[in-house]
Amino acid sequence: MTQITDEFLRAVPKTDLHLHLDGSLRLTSLIEMAAERGVELPSQTVAGLRETVFLESYSSLAEYLHGFMYTCAVLRDGEALERAAYELAVDCFSEGTRYFEVRFAPQLHANDNLSIEQVLVAVAAGLGRAEVEFNQLDGVVSGTEPQYRSGMIVCAMRLFTEGFSPYYSDYVGMHSYRPQRDIIALASVDLARAAVDIRNRLGLPIVGFDLAGREDGYPASAHREAYAFAHRNFMKKTVHAGEAFGPESIFQAITELNADRIGHGYHLFSPDKVTDPSIEDPEAYAKQLAEYIADRRVTIEVCLTSNMQTNPEIGSIERHHLGLMLDRRLSVTLCTDNRLISNTTMCNEIRLAVDNFDVDARTLRNMVVYGFKRSFFPGSYKEKRAYVRSVIDYYDAVAARHGHA
């Protein structure tokens, strides 16, 4: 059997469908932007930040999330957001990622001087600039290689307080007479309405709606109205579910929020995390849920490195549930989650899968193709089909050159 080399992994077209903007800055840019904006960092060097904040491994989810305090603090003006989006696109495209979807909560970046619309416009400008540059490469112009494309996913939050950002501070203040859960649900509806309006009015590549943040105690059901609005307006939907909570969270995302994809989904195979007392047989429940997801081809956005860092109890990479997902023939695609926080790349995530699971050349091709087919591509279905066809043809040509025909 021909070895799957690093050169092959860089050469094949890839997707990254679960990628957070504020978790994927270049460290050098973070240092520069912090200095320009008066944001104090624990260190002014890349090595120092790697030792103090952005670690190789984390002891808890709280430690993992700590770095966002600094990245979000610098991403509160249009120039910084456009720069971050452009550099992220360059980093993705440079390692052969032909299509990616960057997700972020514009509420974390908006403030008195920057509206949610201006946040989205700035990010779209950065992505668009990189697309123009890369699509001028000879192989793309000649039609022998697929184009470089990207889309944006806006994230609602399961939980926020006034301390999360200036926007949230104002929002909580305006609705201080409401219970916290009602405020959170209302903010999601407002975001869904804004995303649909801005997409329709400005033509920005806003391709999806997401729900992120703490699962335990903050169920997806609270966001039904927001997701129903997105659904009625033909916005594609993904949900962070099963990252830190059990199968019920995934079930709720699919049945109550009409999720097209699931972010992480790690605990799909964790019947011990079922908490609903009405579920008499948790193992049967988890098994049936997995069968349902497999049959409906609900794609799971798998983030290996991130899951290992936020769930240290997994222990070793071989125990990650990707193996079970592949065995049950689920539709899975590999993603980075946070390139900076997790110190990873798409090539690294695929390398982990190839080296630690039953992933041969055929299985790898299936995972890559799932990513393109289940993407929230910013175009018509006809355009998407043509794009996916060009990707598959290019993948097969690369595979043949590397002995994987």
Query: Could you give the CA distance from residue 107 to residue 219 in angstroms, rounded to a whole number?
Result: 20
Report pLDDT for 2. 80
Residue pLDDT, tens place only, 126-162 = 999 999 999 999 999 999 999 999 999 999 999 999 9
Our CA angle for 51, 57, 61, nearest 5°, is: 110
Report pLDDT for 129. 98
Tokens of 147: 């184009």
Determine which helix (DSSP H) or strand (DSSP E) holds 332, and give its type and residue range: strand 332-334
Amino acid at 23: G
Q: What is the Rg, in whole angstroms, of the alpha carbon atoms belonging to the chain?
A: 20
DSSP string, 48-92: HHHHHTS-SS-SSHHHHHTTHHHHHHH--SHHHHHHHHHHHHHHH
Q: Point out the residues of the chain with pLDDT beneath 70.
A: 1
Residue pLDDT, tens place only, 152-191 = 999 999 999 999 999 999 999 999 999 999 999 999 999 9
Residue in 192, 44, 43 with CA at minimum distance from that of residue 106: 192
DSSP 337: B
Residue in 219, 217, 237 with CA at minimum distance from that of residue 228: 237
Phi-psi group of 184: left, alpha or beta (phi > 0 → left; psi -120 to 50 → alpha; rest → beta): alpha
CB atoms inside a 10 Å sphere around CB 283: 12
**If DSSP codes are grouped into helix, strand and coil, which group holds residue 240?**
strand
Q: Where are the domains of the chain?
A: 6-401
- End-to-end C-alpha distance for the chain, whole angstroms: 11
Report pLDDT for 216. 83
Report pLDDT for 60. 79
Phi-psi group of 258: left, alpha or beta (phi > 0 → left; psi -120 to 50 → alpha; rest → beta): left
> What CATH number belongs to 6-401?
3.20.20.140
In order of 19, 126, 132, 134, the CA distances from 129 in angstroms are: 19, 5, 5, 9
- How crowded is the C-beta side of 158, counted as CA atoms within 13 Å? 17
Amino acid at 226: A
Sign of CA dihedral 251, 222, 150, 39: negative
Report pLDDT for 1. 60
Report pLDDT for 245. 85
Instruction: Report yes or no: 348 and 305 within 8 Å, Cβ to Cβ.
Output: yes
Tokens of 156: 């609602």
CB atoms inside a 10 Å sphere around CB 47: 9
Tokens of 202: 């400005």
Instruction: Report yes or no: 218 and 180 within 8 Å, Cβ to Cβ.
Output: no
Report pLDDT for 99. 98
